[in-house]
């Protein structure tokens, strides 16, 4: 039997990126004389994407789409330079990935973060080489919850949907996995406005120490 592939979301799943994402947002808001956002409130909204977060934060300015796009580009320029200032893998991530790799699983990342940013972040944190594929919305021209991005990630990693599992933190990840016919584990500490218990995952974990057992329950171990 071929090795199974475990596909991970990035922000809010593998890495707590909220500090650098929100710090960058507040830099942009300060430039436009808009009050900075509350960290806890903004953290829950990250899963919807940075551009919608910018639009919400600047709603009082009634900016055009072109103006939002320009601010988004400024955001990216600043964020790239500070991508791993305070972002860190969640507790247990490295040990869990290493254990799963020793058991023969392929590992991949499927994120709505731009591929280059995802690669840069994972490289800065010493995680990049653990993944057979790191894919974002610009990799295939689609973003989650379109299942094509998950299927494409599996193909690039050398895996198949019939022998795969997704690990994420949001309803978007659940919808993506279901549409691709893949079981899904959600972490209970990520970025979601809706309680994770209401999102319909196959399993929920509250620490990465619990991931190997959840994987064992949902897909047969590779042989």
DSSP string of 131-170, one letter each residue? -SEEE-HHHHS--TTSHHHHHHHHHHHT--GGGEEEEESS
Q: What is the rounded distance in angstroms from the CA atom of residue 190 to the CA atom of residue 18?
A: 10
Does residue 218 register a pLDDT over 70? yes
Q: Look up residue 54 and give its two tokens.
A: 């910018």
Q: What is the rounded distance in angstroms from the CA atom of residue 155 to the CA atom of residue 146?
A: 15
- Give 94-100 contacts, CB < 8 A, sequence gap 24+: 94/127, 95/208, 95/209, 96/208, 96/209, 96/211, 96/212, 97/127, 97/130, 98/130, 99/212, 100/6, 100/211, 100/212, 100/215
Above pLDDT 90, what percent of the chain?
Answer: 80
Q: What is the rounded distance in angstroms from the CA atom of residue 83 to the CA atom of residue 119?
A: 11
pLDDT at 43: 87
Tell me the pTM: 0.94
Q: What is the rounded distance in angstroms from the CA atom of residue 223 to the CA atom of residue 103?
A: 9
Peptide bond into 143 cis (omega under 30): no
117-121: average pLDDT: 97
- What's the chain's average pLDDT? 93
- Give 189-198 contacts, CB < 8 A, sequence gap 24+: 189/12, 189/90, 190/9, 190/11, 190/12, 190/13, 190/47, 191/11, 191/12, 191/18, 191/43, 191/44, 191/45, 191/46, 191/47, 192/12, 192/44, 192/47, 193/44, 193/45, 193/47, 196/169
pLDDT at 157: 98
pLDDT at 223: 37
Fold of 5-16+87-218: Rossmann fold (3.40.50)
Above pLDDT 70, what percent of the chain?
Answer: 97
Does residue 30 register a pLDDT over 70? yes
113-139: average pLDDT: 97
- Domain ranges for the chain, please list them: 5-16+87-218, 18-81
* pLDDT tens figures, 127-146: 999 999 999 999 999 999 99
Catalytic annotation present for 9? yes
* pLDDT tens figures, 94-104: 999 999 999 99
C-beta of residue 173 within 8 angstroms of C-beta of residue 9: yes
* pLDDT tens figures, 172-188: 999 999 999 999 999 99
28-44: average pLDDT: 87
Q: What is the rounded distance in angstroms from the CA atom of residue 38 to the CA atom of residue 92?
A: 28
Q: Which of 9, 11, 20, 169 is catalytic?
A: 9
* pLDDT tens figures, 146-160: 999 999 999 999 999
pLDDT at 220: 59
- Confidence label for 114 from pLDDT (cuts 50, 70 and 90): very high
Q: What is the rounded distance in angstroms from the CA atom of residue 83 to the CA atom of residue 9?
A: 17
42-70: average pLDDT: 85
Top pLDDT among 1 and 160 is at 160
């Amino acid at each position: 039997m071929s090795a199974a592939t475990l596909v991970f979301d990035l922000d809010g799943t593998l890495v707590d990126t909220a500090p650098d994402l929100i710090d960058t947002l507040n830099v942009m808001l300060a430039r436009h004389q808009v009050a900075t956002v509350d960290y806890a409130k903004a953290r829950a909204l990250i899963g919807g994407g940075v551009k919608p977060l910018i639009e919400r934060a600047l709603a009082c300015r009634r900016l055009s789409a072109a103006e939002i796009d320009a601010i988004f580009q400024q955001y990216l320029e600043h964020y790239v330079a500070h991508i791993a200032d305070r972002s860190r893998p969640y507790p247990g991530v490295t040990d869990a990935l290493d254990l799963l790799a020793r058991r023969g699983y392929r590992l991949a990342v499927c994120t709505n973060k731009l591929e280059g940013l995802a690669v840069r972040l994972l490289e800065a944190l010493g995680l990049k080489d653990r993944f057979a594929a790191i894919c974002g919305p610009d990799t295939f021209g689609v973003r989650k919850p379109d299942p094509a991005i998950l299927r494409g990630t599996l193909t690039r990693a050398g895996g198949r949907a019939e022998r795969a599992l997704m690990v994420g933190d949001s309803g978007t990840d659940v919808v993506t996995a279901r549409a691709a016919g893949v079981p899904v584990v959600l972490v209970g500490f990520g970025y979601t406005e809706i309680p994770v218990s209401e999102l319909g995952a196959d399993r929920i974990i509250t620490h990465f120490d619990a991931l190997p057992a959840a994987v064992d329950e949902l897909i047969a171990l590779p042989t």
